[in-house]
Amino acid sequence: MSWIGAGIGAGIGAVIGGPIGAGIGGWLGNSIGNAFEQVQRTGTMGHFNMNKEEAQSVFVVALFSMLAKMAKADGRVDESEVALITRLARTEFKMDEEDQKSAKVIFNNALEDQFTVYDYAKQYRQIAGSAQMCEMVYRLLFSVAYADGELHHDEDAILQEIPSHLGLGQSYYRLIKEEFQGKTVDIEASYQVLGCEPSANDAEIKRAYHQLCKDYHPDTIASKGLPEGFTKYAEQQMHLINDAYQTIKKKRK
């Protein structure tokens, strides 16, 4: 295995459980059984500590499984959607041939399993333990939804609902959608990006900005499990943060 499987041992899927554990098991050819029902009863997988390599692999399993659910949102998956995912794996995510094959297996398995995109999102939120990594998944879902130049109704419905399952504020939907539509971040949205109230003073705004720059720096995100080929999406978030800060500074002057 190359980097996707570098940190995944044969038993890790059973340890994680849930839809992601089942996805790992299906990818490796292991049987996980009814792990999802067990996780529903226990309610959390927060006790599982992953190293960077394991976190990267879990990120990819969760992402490509959710992409499969989005592709199937309208009831079927056509050849253009499969070709799109293949192209993204090869050109956008810079996966080598072995990782592309792994991603395809994960994608195809998720098309047939009994879980929903929201099941994957909720469990990834529990496992990731990081709002930044959940935001990266959400941004990538937007990227795929807009990859053909059009946001379809069924895709839009998922993008509207899934922030709550990822532990993100509902404002994320509007903010990222406007970004993908090429709209300028307005003053109200700028405060939301920085997580500040308009009543915050200049020092508080600056402190929030510097903290977000640290939290969303590509190196920081990579240390939490974002694979190297995906760091452009952390850079996109940094652009959004910088634009918001400059908008507020300009307004206050």
Mind listing the pLDDT tens digit for each residue in 78-113? 777 788 788 888 887 888 888 888 888 889 889 988
Q: Domain range spanning residue 191?
A: 184-253
Examine the pLDDT at 34 and tell me if it is beyond 50.
Answer: no
Q: Are 75 and 121 part of one and the same domain?
A: yes
So what's the pLDDT on residue 199? Answer: 93
Six-digit token string for 218: 């590509």
Domain presence at residue 174: no
- Beta strand segments in 66-120, E: none
Q: Are 128 and 209 part of one and the same domain?
A: no
Q: Are 79 and 113 part of one and the same domain?
A: yes
Domain presence at residue 253: yes
Direct distance between the N- and C-terminal alpha carbons of the chain, in angstroms, rounded to an integer: 55
Q: Are 136 and 250 part of one and the same domain?
A: no
What does the pLDDT look like over 116-143, one tens digit per residue? 999 999 999 988 878 899 999 999 898 8
So what's the pLDDT on residue 40? Answer: 38
pLDDT band for position 202 (50/70/90)? very high
Residues 6+ apart with CB under 8 A from 22: 13, 32, 35, 36, 113, 115
Among the three residues 145, 169, 193, which one is the final residue of a domain in this structure? Answer: 169
Domain presence at residue 178: no
What does the pLDDT look like over 147-182, one tens digit per residue? 777 788 888 999 999 999 999 988 889 889 988 888
Q: Are 77 and 157 part of one and the same domain?
A: yes
Q: Are 248 and 141 part of one and the same domain?
A: no
Q: Are 93 and 227 in contact (CB under 8 A)?
A: yes
Among the three residues 143, 169, 195, which one is the final residue of a domain in this structure? Answer: 169
Q: How many CB atoms lie within 10 A of CB 109?
A: 19
Q: Are 245 and 146 part of one and the same domain?
A: no
What is the C-alpha radius of gyration for the chain, rounded to an integer number of angstroms? 18
Residues 6+ apart with CB under 8 A from 231: 218, 221, 222
Please give the Cα distance from 244 to 241 (Å, whole number). 5
Average pLDDT rounded to a whole number, residues 222-243: 88
Domain presence at residue 99: yes
So what's the pLDDT on residue 92? Answer: 79
The structure tokens 């009994």 sit at: 114
Q: Are 79 and 195 part of one and the same domain?
A: no
Distances (CA, A) of 131 to 13, 107, 167, 173, 179: 23, 24, 7, 15, 19
Domain presence at residue 86: yes
CATH code of the domain in which 231 resides: 1.10.287
So what's the pLDDT on residue 129? Answer: 76
Among the three residues 134, 169, 204, which one is the final residue of a domain in this structure? Answer: 169
Domains identified in the chain, total number: 2
Q: Are 149 and 28 part of one and the same domain?
A: yes
Q: Are 65 and 152 part of one and the same domain?
A: yes
Q: Are 50 and 127 in contact (CB under 8 A)?
A: yes
- Which of 132, 4, 125 minimizes the C-alpha distance to 66? 125
Domain presence at residue 177: no
Domain presence at residue 210: yes
Domain presence at residue 31: yes
